[in-house]
Structure 1
Amino acid sequence: MAIGLSVAMANSGWRVLLIDADMRKPVAAKRLSEDTQPGLSDYLTGRIDLKDIIRETNITNFYFVSCGSDILNPIGLLSSARFEEIMQKLHEAYDFVLFDTPALASVVDGAMVASKVDASLLIVKMGSTKLPDLKRAKEQLQNFNSCILGVVLNKVKKRDYKLHYGSYDYFFKSERFFKNKKAGHIKLSNRVK
């Protein structure tokens, strides 16, 4: 979800930085790289400079910071003066800085990050997240004074979407969306200027 949102924003012309803030699972920089890279935890512990953790991607305007090396106390790093410092520097350098954090139900790291950013999105997995868990996550964010933009329902199957929103099937049948069939063949630019 975070990667897709970051790419969409970057393709719209914004300078976007995605930070993998799940320092409890440094799994080979997860999906954006094959090898472990120095990242957020390495910067926050003072082992490396900020310029050395920001990676360019093959998408214009999209940059990435991995979670970094395995550490014992992520919450201590997220509440440090060095984290406040990185927030200030990145706010000045990028149009949007997105943090991908661990699930709120498991640890407090996500709520800690949410308390320091402008706004938060709750990502909910269809068929997996229970309503009481969602309410607890919302309360946790509110207790940390986080501004919640909304909830994104993720991993919705086409069958489930059509079951509840069948009358809006123009997303699946584009010929019904366009009055002039030739209009559906117009090639649009990849970038908004």
Structure 2
Amino acid sequence: MPCINLSDKEKTQLYEVASLAIEQGLASGERRIVDLSGFSNTLRQPAATFVTVLKKGGLRGCIGVLEAIRPLVQDVSHNAYSAAFEDPRFAPLKPDEWRLCALHISVLSQPRLIPVTSEQDLACKLRVGEDGLILSWRGHRATFLPSVWGQLPDPGDFIGQLKCKAGLGKEFWAKDIKAEIYQTTYI
């Protein structure tokens, strides 16, 4: 399933919603409730998103979901707040940090299962720079967004580091490992 086609206006609205979610969190410590009535049908349809907070270009928080569970605009608001204040890798964002931050929003297509016979087979099927990857095996699960190709451009490294993120060894492979790919629209 392809990514949602967003107009420039809709992309701007999503960025504003993400920013407002963080600003309200800084001001009140509470999540912002997004009223859907002021948004297009596109922004009201269910979609899975990730929101990344970057401070001076470095990762400061990233939270998202892989399945569409909320309307797009509400998912962006929810994940922006979570990325700023609930990413377990970082302390909650402070007001003086916010002015040094930028946001990246990724709207995910529906993940698609791809049959693979080996890690090398998977590496050959991945489109560098385009595909996000979800690896699952017996309760272990992790994903890399397509943007991670910028740091890990070699498919073998990309897969190996993702296996580590999932709590599996870099050299681990099992015939019943599940691989899913997806694409993103970046904002």
Taking structure 1 as the reference length, the TM-score comes to 0.24
The structure with the largest alpha-carbon Rg is 1
More strand, by proportion? 2
Taking structure 2 as the reference length, the TM-score comes to 0.24
